[in-house]
Structure 1
Amino acid sequence: MSTPLNGASAMSLPEIVYHELRNAILNGIFTPGQVLRQEEVAQRLGVSRSPLREALPKLEAEGMVVLQPRRGYTVAALDPEEIEEAFDLRCLLETELARHSIARRTEGDIARVYGIISEMAGLTTKTSDADVAHWFELNQKFHNALLMPAGRPHHMRALKNLRGVIEPYIRTEVRLTGDMLQAQQEHSQLAQTFVNGDVEAFVDLTRAHSQGTRNRLLQGLTRNEAHDPQSE
């Protein structure tokens, strides 16, 4: 994990700590259910506990951490039913955004989508932690680029929170399987339909992509539990 003080930024220190800790959770450095001992986390980030105390409530509001009595903050952990519920909500938001986005897209939006997906294509066969993390960063940018033209900031804010809760599970599963090719194929179809301007096809593909991601994740969790001696 990088130390936030190493990079020049216009953000305040609590904002930098918030982004650093959020990325650490997304990338599995801090795992679901793990207790975030503030002294240890602050030391790892290279900061005092004061900016960390300001960052944690913001992550709690997004559902990424949970404040528990006598334990402090822990990384949010979801069971399969909660993951399925989160994906159902995500699908509702994404399909609604997709319907409005494709009607308002511009040539600049199309160019942005193609630029991101082209960069992602070069990473689909990479296996290093840095390359996989970069692919996931681009993945978020890609989906945002598809949906931001809708001009619905409240929908996008709610979607960001949902993604933050389930993203650590998705990233863990992809790291275990190393399979980004299926997602990339679906991304290519989404991008092409976005360009074509076919509203119903774009909405249908958006729904199918969200449901496919959910199904792969839940299947992966089931496989992992079956091979985990502690679950027996």
Structure 2
Amino acid sequence: MALEGQVRSVARDNSSAVDLVTAEIRRAVLTGALAAGEQFSIRDLALQLGVSHIPIREALRRLESQGLIVLRQARSAAVAPLSIADMEAIYRLRTVIELPLAGTSAGRHSPEQVTRLHELLEMSRDHDPERAWQAHYDLHAALVHPAANEWDERVLHTLWFATERYSHLVFDPTQITEEERAYRYGRHKVLVDAALAGDAAAMSAALDEHLSTNRERIREFIARLESEQNPS
């Protein structure tokens, strides 16, 4: 299938080809330019991105490990389908790993880390959608950083990447009213305030409520999509 307009060439960028290809395919999946279940050939993808097959294959393997891509055969792949069961599993693992780390991290951020938390909170309501979304991602990482070891962060980054495609369904940063922007900012401010207050139980409870609310909104959205696609 042709991919013109769905992914953008990365041939002129000087960064790592694999990193660039990974980022561009992830962007296309998260924004829906490459829709859930859509199949494409590695050859077409290489032509559209302006790189060889080698970085394409490595990028697809990375994205498969993050749950975004399914490698079909040697020459083709598909965007992983949306699934309530898949989404529930991701959030269940986040709850098991992220909550205790956030609780333990409460009150343990250095002055520099506190400043960074406030910066990320402000950036999370930026009108540039990519900047706002990256700040949201980095904020969750910063909240658990004082208590997280290398393996904690490695696993959580995989889960956060996997969460992104589901979060984009409901919390699309390119389609947001000022009221919704303020609402999202307020919800994340609750997390930052709890982290800085140093109350482990309150921090864990705040993050649990945050994740539970997101999970419910995403579940309802997917159920509605499935109902529209398969009317009785």
Give TM-score scaled by structure 2 length.
Answer: 0.84
Q: Which residue of 1 aligns with 2:132?
A: 135
In structure 2, C-alpha distance between the alignment counterparts of 1:26 and 1:57, rounded to whole Å = 17
Change (3 A) 1:118 1:177: closer
Q: Which residue of 2 aligns with 1:38?
A: 42
Change (3 A) 1:102 1:218: same
SS in 1 for 2:40: coil
Q: Which residue of 2 aligns with 1:185?
A: 186
Name structure 2 gaps, 5 residues minimum: 1-6
Q: Which residue of 2 aligns with 1:126?
A: none
In structure 2, C-alpha distance between the alignment counterparts of 1:122 and 1:38, rounded to whole Å = 35
**1:110-121 matched pairs, under 5 angstroms:** 110-121=114-125
Residues 99-148 of structure 1: CA distance to partner in whole angstroms, max 9, x if unpaired?
2322531111110010011122343xxxxxxx333321211011111122
Change (3 A) 1:121 1:177: closer
Q: Which residue of 1 aligns with 2:9?
A: 3
SS in 2 for 1:36: strand
SS in 1 for 2:39: coil
Q: Tell me which stretches of 4 or more aligned residues in structure 1 moved more than 6 Å.
A: none
Q: Is this contact kept in 2: 1:3–1:46, CA < 8 A?
A: yes
Q: Which residue of 2 aligns with 1:167?
A: 164
In structure 2, C-alpha distance between the alignment counterparts of 1:78 and 1:157, rounded to whole Å = 23
Compare 142-151 and 66-75 and name the one that shifted more.
66-75
Residues 35-55 of structure 1: CA distance to partner in whole angstroms, max 9, x if unpaired?
132122222222122221222
The sequence identity of aligned pairs, in percent, is: 26
In structure 2, C-alpha distance between the alignment counterparts of 1:157 and 1:169, rounded to whole Å = 20
Name structure 1 gaps, 5 residues minimum: 124-130
Instruction: Select which of 73, 79, 85 maps to 1:81.
Output: 85
Give 1:163 shift: 2.2
Instruction: Identify which of structures 1 and 2 has the higher relative contact order when contacts are C-alpha pairs closer than 8 Å and 6+ apart.
Output: 1
SS in 2 for 1:121: coil
How many correspondences in the alignment? 222
In structure 1, C-alpha distance between the alignment counterparts of 2:231 and 2:42, rounded to whole Å = 30
In structure 2, C-alpha distance between the alignment counterparts of 1:6 and 1:71, rounded to whole Å = 25
**1:206-217 matched pairs, under 5 angstroms:** 206-217=207-218
In structure 2, C-alpha distance between the alignment counterparts of 1:68 and 1:169, rounded to whole Å = 22
Amino acid corresponding to residue 190 of structure 1 in structure 2 = L
- Is 1:222 paired with 2:219? no
SS in 2 for 1:30: coil
Amino acid corresponding to residue 220 of structure 1 in structure 2 = F
Give 1:71 shift: 7.8
Q: Is this contact kept in 2: 1:33–1:75, CA < 8 A?
A: yes
Q: Is this contact kept in 2: 1:18–1:59, CA < 8 A?
A: yes
In structure 2, C-alpha distance between the alignment counterparts of 1:99 and 1:113, rounded to whole Å = 16
**1:57-68 matched pairs, under 5 angstroms:** 57-68=61-72
Compare 165-174 and 213-222 and name the one that shifted more.
165-174
Q: CA RMSD in A?
A: 2.4
